[in-house]
Copies of this chain bind each other. A is one copy, B any other.
Amino acid sequence: MASIGIVSPQTMSFSQPLRLQSGAQLADYTLMYETYGELNGDKSNAVLVCHALNASHHVAGVYADDPKKVGWWDNMVGPGKPLDTNRFFVIGVNNLGSCFGSTGPMHSNPATGKPYGAAFPVVTVEDWVAAQARLADQLGIEQFACVMGGSLGGMQALAWSIMYPARLRNCMVIASTPKLTAQNIAFNDVARQAILSDPDYRGGDFYEHGVVPKNGLRVARMVGHITYLSDDDMAEKFGRKLRNAAESNDYKFDFGIDFEIESYLRYQGDKFSEYFDANTYLLITKALDYFDPALAHGGDLTRALAATEAAFFIASFTTDWRFAPERSREIVEALISNRRQVTYAEIDAPHGHDAFLLEDARYMNMVRAWYARIWHGIAQGESA
């Protein structure tokens, strides 16, 4: 199926300070975003796609000067795709604190004239959503047809439904969770400690020293990557296969690479450490850890979701042990307790947490049907 083709990122700058959940504020900031498709006359066909840990505003299509840089959800978003850009006006926004164009730790701190580094304020999912809402204001979008996201992106979609109930008619929360478990937080903290203890991190001010804490980022990504894949999928893809071994039992007896899985993980870690920012990694893992909309309601997720108005599509994947189906079911149950309209899909897929990004006919068809329903409503003039 055709990609949307060549796309261009845009920027929008905001001079009204953004007060953050921490109490800190960003005096001014810029958001980088992309749009695909056309906003219709009554502005009722806008869809916001929220990104997860290492992704960005570049959701679909390619860049004219870099035709290999395909958007991270290009299989989902485009002409004729489940989220059909012939029908919908789709927006991808890079979140604050990221390293792909929106204001982040590598940008100049107006208070010092030097890069923010570790002084960039800790931002939350709710902060990101508040910034996205201002972007929507500027684009003249009062209400989204749908806000959607997977994993950390799903948290943003859920936060939208709580913070701005009237501003979205539909909400898709895929492979996500209403809060991290102790084990999730533990893995995130291992990643953070790997970065923070890398001497090249330099207390977050590595930019001015001309170094990058690559070793820390590499280990952080390796441990993260393990949690994205299912045990079974790893067993099937890699098992105990040896790399560069003439015989099946040709162990190297050193600390280099014996097994394919080691080669694969180290490659993933190396690649990540080349393009991702260490401070951004720290910030994003904290945003994950902190997300817990029930906390302000004494831990009661049903009360946290009481104000929502959207119709919900919740999906999980059977082999996802990072954000297991049980976590999605907690959201579903809280929504049902609130008598919200909910569609829940628990998809039998082998690829663990990563499944939300991968081709799977049943998954894609369900998303397609969901957007067909939304489109039908728009065609009938349904909106706020």
Contact = CB atoms under 8 A, between A and B. Distances in A.
A259 B198 CA distance: 22
A285 to B, nearest CB: 9
A22 B253 contact: yes
A239 B186 CA distance: 11
Contact of A223 (B190, B235, B286, B290): B190
A56 to B, nearest CB: 23
B259 A182 contact: yes
A196 B24 CA distance: 38
A265 interface: yes
B219 A187 contact: no
A234 interface: yes
Contacts of A223: 187, 190, 223
A199 interface: yes
A215 interface: yes
Given A186-B261, A254-B122, A269 B193 contact: yes
Interface in A234-251: 234-235, 237-240, 248-249, 251
Contact of A239 (B182, B194, B198, B296): B182
Given A240-B292, A289-B258, A234 B194 contact: no
A281 to B, nearest CB: 11
24 contacts: A21-B253, A118-B255, A122-B253, A179-B240, A181-B239, A182-B239, A182-B261, A185-B259, A185-B261, A185-B262, A186-B222, A186-B234, A186-B265, A189-B259, A189-B266, A193-B269, A197-B219, A198-B215, A240-B292, A249-B296, A253-B286, A258-B289, A258-B290, A259-B289
Interface of A: 21-24, 118, 121-122, 179-183, 185-187, 189-190, 192-194, 196-199, 215, 218-219, 222-223, 226, 229, 231, 234-235, 237-240, 248-249, 251, 253-255, 258-259, 261-262, 265-266, 269, 282, 286, 289-290, 292, 295-296
Given A122-B253, A185-B261, 19 more contacts: A118-B255, A122-B254, A181-B231, A182-B235, A182-B240, A183-B231, A183-B234, A183-B235, A185-B259, A187-B226, A190-B223, A190-B265, A193-B222, A194-B219, A196-B255, A197-B219, A223-B223, A248-B295, A249-B296
